[in-house]
Structure 1
Amino acid sequence: MTADASPTPAGKTVGPAPAGPAAHGPWAYTTAVYLRYGVGKLGGAAVSLLAVLVTGFFLFRLIPGDPVKTMTGGRPVSTEQLVAYRKEFGLDLPLWQQFTDYCGEALTGDLGTSYQFRAPVIDKISEALPNTLLLTGTAFVLYTALGIFLGTRAAWRHGRLVDRLHTGLALTLYSVPSFWLGLLLIIVFSVGTGPIPGLFPTGGMESGGEEGFAYVLDVAHHLILPVVTLVAVEYGQTLLVTRSALLDEMGSDYLTTARAKGLRDDLVRRRHAVPNALLPTVTLVFVNLGRTVAGVILVETVFSWPGLGGLFYQALSVPDLPLVQGLFLFFAAAVIIMNTLADLVYPLLDPRVGR
């Protein structure tokens, strides 16, 4: 009998099964399914981006005010000058033509020219993006790690005092408006109140005049309060999602089997329960990562942080339509892309997804 042959109930032997679609093994099937799943998700992302492009154009034209008159700062301007300004920025064109021009330029990466800065919108975004990534990126790493760490321990000790304290604090802080908490921290720790002196700057990113390592320390000093604000408000969401997902896993048979084999409780949690409970948390992490790229408008505005959020608020006050539209598209694209990446990672963590 050869290695490829197998016995039949009657003791006879048969040769190897003929080659067919299954001969390529499960990997070929899984790859085909994953590609089909991925193409569907990428197509959905493209449709979402197109919807954002259309929505952004018409939404911000509902804002009251005349951009040209706002840019003149209330100075006496002749009718001829106003007409020249409108022609320069294309505001004299019919709305449908403005829309088609905007879509055509946006699809080629040209987001227009800012009214107030007289500079390409993409350049203004590139200037402010590193500042936003410094602030929200630092906060993202801290509140994600803190939320997952405390969420797993709260779930593993659910019903106990530690769980109730963590969950109650997370719910309280998650419901607090970020701008209100930021203003409160400024009053207490920047202005100073009672026995507490003013320890931190009231806003901005730097004091000016510092170089080298002193500059790094100065930026870090300005970074503390806005980062604390973001971490305090955002960590609760990650904690609650992680805790809920882990509680759903704790009654599973494979955990009982792992304990029956004599594994320590800590190993059962880290090696078995937590990895299987992280699927909902992965979605949240990617969504928050998209928001990190987009920035946090209210927090950056409260702390006068020179990032994308502050730039968006400044553009709204004019209104600087090309800058507002460009930032809106950038913010939405960041979230959509991160959501799509989360969808593409799902089947790698759980092969049941996408079948």
Structure 2
Amino acid sequence: MSTTSTTSTTAVARAQEARAASGNVRAYLLYVAGKLGGAAISLLAVLVTSFFLFRIIPGDPVKAMTHGMPTSAAQLATLRRQFGLDQPMWQQFTDYCAKALTGDLGTSYQFHAPVGDLITQKLPATLLLTGVAVLIYSAIGLWLGTRSAWRNGSLGDKLNTGVALTLWSVPSFWLGLLLIITFSVGIGPIPGMFPTGGMESGDETGFAYVADVAHHMVLPVLTLVAVGYAQTLLVMRSSLLDEMGSDYLTTARAKGLRDDVVRRHHAVPNALLPTVTMVFINLGHVAAGSILVETVFSWPGLGGLFYQALSVPDLPLVQGLFVVFAGAMILMNLLADLLYPLLDPRVGR
């Protein structure tokens, strides 16, 4: 009788576990579906915004392209017709959306080449520069933010926080110019050690080429790291400070766990959610690069291309770059949202 009762209890427990697991899977799938739907709506909003936002920029693209050249009114009309600028706004919008949804971002006015090809050509340089910078400053920011929070109020905490706040408030282009003046041009006893701009010298091959590119990357990467790590440090520090007084940390210490173990295995994982969002947003910035930093250092990436497109304005190129930049941000935010339930099972329930 007792054996039958035990078997029945076990079967009931297993059935309850199966129902709970099924409910968790269903809740997660609904959570994923909601996030995917939100990302799709955001992308459609980006398409609408990219079309109308850049049409309020003052200037006539056709006149800008023909600036300094004798051009008749008939030739200007022909160019407007060629680029579709003579069509009603609603028709331009519907054509733009239809092509964008099929991957056709149009043809650049000034380069006379498909926007997608131009982006593909410039993307590797941007991924190299900002990718390296994001990896470095995310690691530094997480490490220093954790140490500052854990030793809250110490001299090291005050020093780290003060430096981070100062660098976070410094415009990146201004810091880049200071670095160029100091380490490229040279000032006082400091000689010029690094190139003033560009990605390569143009006359190197093999390992020498890799070293040359790395040499050109030092100052722009240093600029991005100096500004970026500060934000990551402050977010991680704030998140960890919120966890410091939690009961589960007191319980872990009462069990006799060492302070380092409590920090690494209990406090930090629970403080990571806001920082994970920050890291994924920074990864989204990898596609956009840093327009100002790339412009200051003449880096041949998407940031410099965006600056060139705005100066015309080259509407198809500006719109295409805006969609790529915003799309990367939406994708990274989506990945962060899908990762949250793995870090904290309470999310998505």
| TM category, shorter | over 0.9
Aligned with residue 144 of structure 1, among 138, 143, 148: 138
SS across alignment from 2:190: coil
Equivalent-residue separation in structure 1 for 2:13 and 2:51 (angstroms): 60
Matched, 1:277 2:257: no
Instruction: Report the TM-score when normalising by structure 1.
Output: 0.95
Q: Could you say if the C-alpha distance between residues 19 and 268 of structure 1 is closer, same or farther in structure 2, counting changes exceeding 3 Å? A: closer
- Identify the residue that residue 268 of structure 1 maps to in structure 2: 262
| Aligned twin of 1:127 | 121
Structure 1 residue 313, shift from structure 2 partner = 0.2
The TM-score normalised by the length of structure 2 is 0.96
1:171 to 158, 162, 165: 165
Contact 1:140-1:288 at 8 Å conserved across structures: yes
Q: 1:251 to 1:57 in 2, by over 3 A?
A: same
Q: How does 1:6-21 map to 2 (within 5 A)?
A: 6=6, 17=12
SS of 1:112's equivalent in the other structure is: coil
The Cα shift of 1:261 comes to 2.2
Q: Secondary structure at the match of 2:313?
A: coil
1:23 Cα deviation (Å)?
6.3
For residues 323 and 273 of structure 2, the distance between their equivalents in structure 1, rounded to whole angstroms, comes to: 28
Once the two structures are TM-superposed, the CA of residue 14 in structure 1 deviates from its matched residue by: 8.2
Question: What residue number does 2:213 align with?
Answer: 219
1:197-346 alignment, distance < 5 Å: 197-346=191-340
Compute the displacement of 1:195 (Å). Answer: 1.1
Q: Unaligned regions of 5+ residues in structure 2, if any?
A: none
Structure 1 match to 2:65: 71
User: Structure 1 regions of 5+ residues with no counterpart?
Assistant: 8-12
Secondary structure of the residue aligned to 1:238 is: helix
Which position in structure 1 is the counterpart of 2:45? 51
CA 1:18–1:111: 2 relative to 1, 3 Å:
same
- The AA in structure 2 aligned to 1:91 is L
Deviations 1:251-278, CA, capped at 9 Å, x for gaps: 1222222222222211111111111111
Which whole-Å CA distance do the structure 1 matches of 2:132 and 2:327 have between them? 21
1:82, 1:115 → 2: CA distance?
13
**Secondary structure of 1:5's aligned partner:** helix
Q: What code does the residue aligned with 1:47 have? A: I
CA distance in 1, matches of 2:13, 2:211: 70
Structure 1 contact 4–16 (Cα < 8 Å) conserved: no
Summarize deviations over 1:269-316 as a string: whole Å, max 9, x none. 111111111111111111111011221111101111011100000000
- Paired with 1:354 and 1:320, the residues of 2 have a C-alpha distance of 43
Deviations 1:205-243 (A, max 9, x none): 011111111111110010000000000001011101111
Q: Distance in 1 between matches of 2:238 and 2:190?
A: 38
* Alignment partners' CA distance in 2, 1:196 and 1:116: 41
Q: CA deviation at 1:136?
A: 0.2
Q: Are the structure 2 counterparts of residues 224 and 16 from structure 1 closer, same or farther at C-alpha, using a change threshold of 3 Å?
A: closer
Mapped contact 1:152–1:246 kept (Cα < 8 A): yes
Partner of residue 10, structure 1 = none
Q: 1:60 aligns with which of 54, 67, 77?
A: 54
User: Which of 5, 21, 28 is matched with 2:22 structurally?
Assistant: 28
1:336 and 1:112 mapped to 2: Cα distance?
Answer: 22
Q: Aligned pairs, how many?
A: 349
Counterpart for residue 113 of structure 1: 107
1:351 aligns with 2:345: yes
Alignment correspondent of 1:102: 96
Question: Paired residue for 2:190?
Answer: 196
Aligned partners of 1:2, 1:276: CA distance in 2, in Å?
44
Amino acid of the structure 2 residue aligned with 1:133 = L
Give me the whole-angstrom Cα distance separating, in 2, the residues matched to 1:275 and 1:18.
31
- Cα displacement (A) at 1:71: 1.2
Q: 2:80 aligns with which of 75, 86, 106?
A: 86
Q: How far apart, in 2, do the equivalents of 1:335 and 1:18 lie?
A: 44
Structure with bigger helix share is 2
Identity of aligned residues (%): 72
Q: 1:192 to 1:26 in 2, by over 3 A?
A: same
Match of 1:162 in 2: 156
Shift of 1:52: 1.0
State the 1:86 CA deviation: 1.2
Q: What amino acid does structure 2 have at the position aligned with 1:5?
A: S
Which amino acid letter does the alignment assign opposite residue 241 of structure 2? L
